Amino acid sequence: MARSMDDPGYQAGLVDLLGLLSYGELQGFARLAADAAMADNLVDQAAMSAIAVNELRQFERLRDRLVEIGADPESAMTPFVRSIDEFHTSTAPSDWLEGLVKLYVGDGIAEDFYVEMADFVDDETAGLIRSVFKDRGQADFVVTTVREAIAEEPRVAGRLALWGRRLVGEALSQAQRVAAERDSLTELLVSGEGGLDLAGVGELFNRLTSRHAARMEALGLTP
Amino acid sequence: MARSMDDPGYQAGLVDLLGLLSYGELQGFARLAADAAMADNLVDQAAMSAIAVNELRQFERLRDRLVEIGADPESAMTPFVRSIDEFHTSTAPSDWLEGLVKLYVGDGIAEDFYVEMADFVDDETAGLIRSVFKDRGQADFVVTTVREAIAEEPRVAGRLALWGRRLVGEALSQAQRVAAERDSLTELLVSGEGGLDLAGVGELFNRLTSRHAARMEALGLTP
């Protein structure tokens, strides 16, 4: 899609998008690193810590792009601090399994959304977003661990399925607030030649939902 | 110093040392990453997060050395979980400034000790330890921030000086417990041709103390 930095509306939306993604990754790093300390064993703790480190690398690349386009990273991130912090406060895992599901399901839906957004930005930013969020293979150990826990104690599945639904509910509620408060961000999605109409928004929503359901099923949980 | 893996006493001491250092870095990562979220601004949060990431890299290199010498990293780390966790529980910073002093003063004294230990191990492990703990330049932003905070409100200095002394007190008390429980580790220091006598232990202690005092003074704090 041909989007130009000369268009101030586009520039404002892009700064908002990169600010949202940057702060999401920076805070995701802190939360994952802390959640890692709940691991049952030190091998899993090291594995989740390494995934946290990956989030900080993603943050650094997104922040560098903000600097490249002449924006101040701190000002760009500030509008999203409240929503993202509230998301994490309301979804603090109470044990290791909830932490694993949050990593797999919560980060999964966020990253799907980010990659969808790549369709609405300039080619260089799109390439960056797709490459930053490409590799989710590291989280594969989550599937094994959660499935083993359910095999050992089947009623765990009910509790974790509720937890997965709560994660999505909280994420949607914060996403709605962000959309309501930041017009420039919603403009990115709907304005111009390649912008979405109502049907397009519905399709986007369906794609996110069905990928979320596939992740829940991969974990052995009812979506 | 010529130390050989064929000596079972040496091997046991080395596994203990690497286990202690590894778990110290793994847990240091989690604590720093969480403390980073207390930063006053997002630039400082990113800076402390990057230092946390460095600790995880250090952990990975130390763990890999354990594997190289045929030890199981988890078993090697387990004996030190209680002491290191208790150190962090008893020194959880209550605000950003305390977090900065803990990073600079607490990590500083631990890393000085680790580098001293390099004199008592085989050359390959010594090289690894010296290279892992070489670069402390990243923490320089701490000095500026703490000094600015004191300039703005001088009575902060008294509180932080007490905090610095408490950090050292808690570290020493856990170090004593580790020394009492792990003979193989103390053997590393005192046995063999290059082992320390009582005067040597005293000199080591003096070196650690005077470097600690220099760090406190760099921050503008009475040691």
**What is the ipTM for the molecules in this complex?**
0.75
Q: What is the mean pLDDT of residues A170-193?
A: 86
Q: How confident is the model at residue A197 (pLDDT cuts 50, 70, 90)?
A: confident
B78: amino acid identity, one letter: T
List chain A residues with CB under 8 Å of B33: 29-30, 33-34, 52
Q: What local confidence, expressed as pLDDT, does residue B194 receive?
A: 74
Instruction: Report angle CA B6, B7, B9 to the nearest 5 degrees.
Output: 145
pLDDT exceeds cutoff 90 at A150:
yes
pLDDT exceeds cutoff 60 at B150:
yes
Distance from CA of B97 to the nearest CA of A (A): 18
Measured CA to CA in angstroms, residue A22 lies from A14, A137, B139, B164 at distances of 12, 21, 23, 34
Q: Which residues are within 8 A (CB) of A67 and not within 5 positions of it... i.e. 6 or more apart?
A: A73
A160 vs B27: CA distance, rounded Å:
27
User: Is B160 in contact with B218 (CB distance < 8 Å)?
Assistant: no
pLDDT exceeds cutoff 90 at A214:
yes
Contact B52 A33 (CB under 8 A): yes
Contact A74 B42 (CB under 8 A): yes
Instruction: Report angle CA B85, B91, B94 to the nearest 5 degrees.
Output: 130
b/e map B70-87, b = 16+ CB within 10 Å? ebebbebbebbeebbeeb
Identify the burial level of B198 via C-beta atoms within 10 angstroms of its C-beta, where 0-12 means exposed, 13-18 middle and 19 or more buried. exposed
Substitution target from A40, A53, A58 for chain B, most B beta carbons within 10 A:
A53
Instruction: Report angle CA B156, B161, B162 to the nearest 5 degrees.
Output: 105
**Dihedral sign computed on CA atoms, order A30, A32, A38, A42:** negative
Q: What tens digit of pLDDT does each residue of B65-85 get? A: 999 999 999 999 999 999 999
Q: What local confidence, expressed as pLDDT, does residue B81 receive?
A: 95
A115 vs B11: CA distance, rounded Å:
50
pLDDT exceeds cutoff 80 at A1:
no
Contact B50 A56 (CB under 8 A): yes
Locate B115 and state its tokens: 């580098």
Distance from CA of A52 to the nearest CA of B (A): 9
Contact B42 A23 (CB under 8 A): yes
Which stretch of DSSP H or E encloses residue A82?
helix A81-90
pTM: 0.84
Substitution target from A56, A84, A89 for chain B, most B beta carbons within 10 A:
A56
Contact B74 A43 (CB under 8 A): yes
B3: amino acid identity, one letter: R
Contact A56 B56 (CB under 8 A): no
List chain B residues with CB under 8 Å of A26: 42, 45-46, 49
Contact A73 B42 (CB under 8 A): yes
Q: What tens digit of pLDDT does each residue of A7-55 get? A: 888 999 999 999 999 999 999 999 999 999 999 899 999 999 999 999 9
Share above pLDDT 90 across residues of chain A, in percent, rounded to a whole number: 64
Substitution target from A18, A20, A27, A45 for chain B, most B beta carbons within 10 A:
A45
Q: Which of B23, B30, B49 sits opposite A36 (nearest CB)?
A: B30
Distance from CA of A24 to the nearest CA of B (A): 12
Q: What tens digit of pLDDT does each residue of A95-124 get? A: 999 999 999 998 898 889 889 999 899 999
Q: What local confidence, expressed as pLDDT, does residue A135 receive?
A: 66
Mean pLDDT of chain B: 90
Q: What is the mean pLDDT of residues B53-57?
A: 92
Identify the burial level of A42 via C-beta atoms within 10 angstroms of its C-beta, where 0-12 means exposed, 13-18 middle and 19 or more buried. buried
Distance from CA of A74 to the nearest CA of B (A): 6
Alpha helices in chain B (DSSP H): 8-36, 42-68, 73-77, 81-90, 96-101, 107-117, 123-132, 140-152, 156-181, 183-190, 198-218
Q: Which of B36, B59, B73 sits opposite A30 (nearest CB)?
A: B36
Q: Which of B30, B56, B78 sits opposite A50 (nearest CB)?
A: B56
Locate A108 and state its tokens: 């999964």
Distance from CA of A137 to the nearest CA of B (A): 19
Q: What tens digit of pLDDT does each residue of B99-142 get? A: 999 999 988 988 898 899 998 999 999 999 998 887 666 677 89
* Residue A182 φ/ψ, nearest 5 degrees: -120, 85
Locate B218 and state its tokens: 């760099």
Contact A41 B74 (CB under 8 A): yes
3-class SS of residue B135 = coil
List chain A residues with CB under 8 Å of B50: 56, 60
Q: What local confidence, expressed as pLDDT, does residue A220 receive?
A: 94
Measured CA to CA in angstroms, residue B160 lies from A150, A170, A213, B156, B157 at distances of 48, 39, 50, 6, 5
Closest chain A CA to residue B42? A74
Between these two residues, B75 and A187, which has the higher pLDDT value? B75
pLDDT exceeds cutoff 60 at B178:
yes
Q: What local confidence, expressed as pLDDT, does residue A172 receive?
A: 86
Q: What local confidence, expressed as pLDDT, does residue B1 receive?
A: 52
Q: What local confidence, expressed as pLDDT, does residue A2 receive?
A: 55
Distance from CA of B195 to the nearest CA of A (A): 32
Residues belonging to chain A: 223
Contact B27 A37 (CB under 8 A): yes
User: What does DSSP assign to residue B41?
Assistant: S
Substitution target from B20, B53, B59, B77 for chain A, most A beta carbons within 10 A:
B53
